[in-house]
Amino acid sequence: MKKYDNLLKLKELLDFSSLPEDNYKHHYFLTPLEVSSLNAKGAFDRLVEGYVEDSNSKKRGQQQLAEFRWHWACIICGLAQVVFMRSWLIVTLDKNEYGNKGDFWLGHYGFSYQNLKDIITYLEKEDLVFVKIGKSYLDGSSRTRVYPKPALAASIWAFFLDIEQEIKPPYITIKNPAKGWRRVINRMGKDHPEKNDMYIINEYLKGSSWACKAPVRLAYKYDAYHSGRLITPFQSLPDRSIRLRINTLLNGQPLCEVDFNANHLRLNLAVLAKDAAGDTPYEDIVELAGMDVSNPVSRNIVKMFITIAMGASDENSAMYAFVKEGYSKKRFISIKKATYVRYPKVMLFNGWGVMAQSLEGEILRKVMVEGVKLGIASLPVHDALAVNHQHADWAQEAMARVWSDVVGGVGTKLKVDYPTS
């Protein structure tokens, strides 16, 4: 399928007039982005140059003007991506977050507070973007959310599939590191298994093409015992409310997603109880909870409960998070009871979800490295791998085998999701 035909198909799925939800799940942080295709670069550079000339009200020198232009390119690329991600672009307009004691990624990427502030101020003044100022995050920082208005979206959407982030280290990161752990992660030797695997994966992917191309990173939280998920912006493309991600291409060919079924529940039972979850774990809980088995929403509610219950450190915080999603305490209690009836050995409300994420990341990382050795490109999608259709059988076999090797038992189940015709 030609790239332009695919782009038109993706555009048909979008509604430029509606705004994304404003929550963490629909926030995409600004990164250094560029238009890679020679065919699109000329038109993109002209677009950026027009904005630079119109907004450059200060007397910038040659170097300063080049930096201003680079910031404009990153903003335009970011806004084009969030149109398809159905997310808000997060731009840090808190001056305290810049500098040696500020946000690590802002310094690593080389973003300038003043350049970003001038650009967002211009875009808002020209009525080209929606702007929401200063949403507070758990770490105390404040982020501004930006989303293109229809007129701007119409002028930038066509660049979407030509936008990418340069693939370069760091490929292992740590968020909110406990004392000493940032240094430990930064000082990993090249021969460290995880660092070596992430290097192999990213070096191979440099030669591949896909939507939202960017590094695949192994992301820890606090220390090397928490989380350990594989992350990349491709995951942020919607695939439930809009079947967009599954309809993109990998190396110019249709892709499918090979997905672990009820993976956190299966990992919990296999690791902690040497038990298997059976063929239809969520559906079993739905029935026991007295919910409508024929309604797919029931399964999604149970899945959400399991995710929250395994991630929470106690039952009260889990109930609060569940209710915050719009469901009742009565529903929470009924699903909890049904879960314990179906799986008496399951462990909930003890924060085990971070261990599940770590195991999940380890399994997918090992399968991706195996794929590289076979000349097969794959992309992580939470608890799944995206591969071209001809590699679906390989991915299912490899994922089941490695899951068993890592967990030390059996009990996994996989499904393959294909794009719409």
Q: What is the residue extent of each domain of the chain?
A: 1-164, 278-342
* Closest of 47, 44, 36, 34 to residue 3, by C-alpha: 36
Question: Could you give the C-alpha distances from 403 to 228, 270, 314, 325, 389, in angstroms and in order?
Answer: 16, 11, 28, 31, 21
Q: Which two tokens stand for residue 284?
A: 């079993």
Tokens of 161: 């599939």
**What is the CB neighbour count within 10 angstroms for residue 27?**
20
pTM for the whole structure = 0.92
- pLDDT score for 74: 98
Residue with tokens 């066509």: 158
Please list the pLDDT of the chain residue by residue as tens digits (421 residues).
Answer: 588 899 999 999 988 778 999 988 899 999 999 998 888 999 999 999 999 999 998 888 999 999 999 999 999 999 999 999 999 999 999 888 888 777 888 988 999 999 999 999 999 999 999 999 875 555 455 689 999 999 999 999 999 999 999 999 999 887 766 656 666 666 666 677 889 999 999 999 999 999 999 999 998 876 655 558 999 999 999 998 899 999 999 999 999 999 999 999 999 999 999 999 999 999 999 999 999 999 999 999 999 999 999 999 999 999 999 999 999 999 999 999 999 999 999 999 999 988 899 999 999 999 999 999 999 999 999 999 999 999 999 999 999 999 999 998 778 999 999 997 6
pLDDT at residue 93 in the model: 92
Distances (CA, A) of 17 to 20, 76, 86, 131: 10, 18, 11, 15
pLDDT digits (tens, 9 = 90+) for 138-163: 545 568 999 999 999 999 999 999 99
Locate 60 and state its tokens: 């910038």
pLDDT digits (tens, 9 = 90+) for 67-117: 999 999 999 999 999 999 999 999 999 888 888 777 888 988 999 999 999
Task: Calculate the alpha carbon distances from 80 to 35, 141, 159, 288 in Å.
Answer: 11, 25, 7, 45
Q: Exposure string (b/e) for 178-191, b if CB count within 10 Å is 16 or more? A: eeebbeebeebeee
For residue 258, the cross-strand partners are 385, 416
Q: What is the pLDDT of residue 224?
A: 57
DSSP 210: B
Phi, psi of 395 (to 5 degrees): -60, -40
Give me the pLDDT at residue 23, please.
87
Side-chain half-sphere CA neighbours of 314 within 13 A: 2
HSE at residue 168, side-chain half, CA atoms within 13 A, is 7
